[in-house]
């Protein structure tokens, strides 16, 4: 008996070594999101290529991969990162640069990969994965009337009550300007042009300050993605900005009395990057191409309300409606990139934030300290 258990121990050890040598390791955010990635394209890709894919959780940022590299022992092949991190990581030489149309397959109708993706990549190291929205939602039982525009979010006369906004400057300055009357323009370029100037920044900060100090309004600052729906449902606030996938879960998944408003939404992105010198770079590259194919990206939208980066994936979804895993919810109208939802939107500009994030963050905190 003892011998047998020893043998088993040795066997499992050997197995774990050999399997990890072939496997591709992907670091992502965990929770329902990683689940959607795993079921949507991870498992199908692993089956197709015959390469196991391990998913590990991390909490964002580049500090871990930088530390892995400095220690000379890289354990991740692919990382799911924000746009800013693809720029910083690419500049630091942590990630592999792509030859986009060669490394990624074209759409089924022959459109090249670079044209099929919703917007150009922020860096040569990035390949889009999902788009999510910074939109806002309101509690239908606490709000009289129906807020329709981003201006309504700031209109405390018509819709009195507290608002929940994100704790940092990111996207708050943009919606403040959009609500203050600046037309976002194509992809929000006009907003960012205004924010390049001192005047524009002050205008945005004042708009937020006005909302937060208004006796009919007031602000709650949220820091975790789960907070906005929770704050809405508990009645702590009447409106909240947040991530559309979280609102979707509360609204469709749990039947909470909340409704999303897409006007003035900010589209933000998740990307995959390939780690330079990762343990299994060659297989990882193949797996990455497979996961970000038209079918692959459409697959994840079955499990979560984030939009696939490829336009061709939306077509696959429209054909397969009701696409959501419950078998009765149409997913295309829930997509941040759906035509009905992108009448007035801005693309969160990662380069702008990479450029100005620190100083704007300091100004933002100083403004908050004066509330």
Give, as one character, the DSSP assignment of residue 82.
E
Give the angle 169-368-347 at the CA atoms, nearest 5°.
15
| Phi and psi torsions of 12, nearest 5° | -65, -35
Report the residue number, 5 or 234, with the smaller CB distance to another protein.
234
Q: Is 321 in the site for another protein (CB under 8 A)?
A: no
Q: How far is CA 5 from CA 14, 17, 241, in A?
A: 14, 18, 55
Applying CB under 8 A, which part among 13-21, 23-31, 296-304, 348-356 lies near another protein? Answer: 348-356
Q: How far is the CB of 359 from another protein (least distance, A)?
A: 4
Q: Which is nearer to another protein, 42 or 122 (CB)?
A: 122
Do you find a cis peptide bond into 297, omega within 30 degrees of 0? Answer: no
Phi and psi for 56 in degrees, rounded to 5?
-120, 150
CB of 126 to another protein, least distance (A): 14
Site mask for another protein (CB under 8 A), range 79-118, x = bound: -----x--xx-xxxx-------------------------
Residue 223 sits in the site that holds another protein (CB under 8 A): yes
**Are the beta carbons of 179 and 153 closer than 8 angstroms?**
yes
Positive or negative, the Cα torsion across 69, 78, 169, 138? Answer: negative
CA distance 314 to 332: 7
- Structure tokens given for 18: 């050999």
The two tokens of residue 357 are 């994030």
Site string for another protein, 44-73 (x = CB under 8 A): ----------------xxxx--x-------
Q: Helix, strand, or coil here: 332?
A: helix
**Cβ nearer to another protein, comparing 142 with 249:** 142
Q: To the nearest whole angstrom, how small is the minimum distance from the Cβ of residue 71 to another protein?
A: 13
According to CB under 8 A, which residues from 141 to 170 bind another protein?
167
Interface with another protein (CB under 8 A), residue from 52, 74, 221, 311: 221
Rule CB under 8 A: say whether 325 interacts with another protein: no
Binding of residue 254 to another protein (CB under 8 A) = no
Q: Is 53 helix (H, G, I), strand (E, B) or coil?
A: strand
Q: Does 18 bind another protein (CB under 8 A)?
A: no
- Residues near another protein (CB under 8 A) are 60-63, 66, 84, 87-88, 90-93, 167, 212, 219-221, 223-224, 234-236, 351-352, 354-363, 365-369, 371
């Amino acid at each position: 008996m003892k011998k047998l258990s020893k043998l088993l121990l040795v066997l499992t050890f050997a197995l774990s070594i050999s399997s990890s040598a072939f496997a591709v390791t992907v670091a992502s955010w965990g929770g329902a999101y990683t689940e959607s990635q795993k079921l949507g394209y991870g498992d199908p890709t692993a089956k197709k290529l015959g390469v196991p894919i391990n998913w590990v959780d991390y909490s964002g940022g580049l500090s871990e991969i930088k530390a892995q590299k400095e220690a000379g022992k890289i354990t991740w092949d692919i990382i799911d990162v924000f746009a800013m991190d693809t720029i910083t990581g690419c500049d630091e030489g942590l990630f592999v640069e792509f030859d986009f149309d060669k490394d990624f397959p074209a759409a089924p109708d022959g459109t090249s990969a670079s044209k099929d993706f919703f917007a150009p990549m922020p860096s040569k190291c990035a390949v889009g994965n999902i788009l999510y929205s910074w939109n806002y939602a309101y509690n239908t039982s606490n709000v009289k009337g129906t807020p329709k525009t981003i201006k309504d979010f700031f209109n405390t006369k018509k819709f009195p009550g507290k608002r929940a906004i994100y704790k940092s400057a990111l996207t708050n300055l943009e919606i403040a300007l959009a609500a203050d009357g600046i037309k976002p323009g194509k992809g929000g370029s006009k907003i960012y042009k205004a924010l390049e100037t001192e005047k524009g920044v002050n205008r945005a900060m004042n708009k937020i300050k006005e909302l937060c100090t208004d006796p009919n309004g007031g602000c709650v600052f949220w820091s975790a993605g789960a907070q906005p729906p929770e704050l809405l449902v508990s009645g702590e606030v009447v409106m909240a900005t947040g991530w559309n996938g979280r609102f979707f879960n509360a609204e469709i998944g749990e039947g909470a009395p909340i409704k999303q408003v897409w006007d003035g939404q900010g589209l933000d992105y998740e990307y995959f990057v390939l780690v330079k010198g990762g343990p299994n770079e060659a297989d990882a590259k193949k797996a990455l191409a497979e996961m970000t194919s038209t079918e692959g990206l459409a697959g994840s939208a079955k499990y979560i309300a984030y939009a696939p980066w490829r336009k061709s994936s939306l077509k696959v979804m429209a054909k397969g409606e009701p696409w959501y895993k419950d078998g009765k919810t149409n997913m295309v109208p829930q997509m941040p990139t759906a035509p009905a939802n992108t009448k007035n939107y801005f693309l969160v500009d990662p380069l702008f934030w990479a450029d100005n994030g620190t100083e704007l963050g300091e100004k933002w905190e100083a403004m908050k300290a004066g509330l």
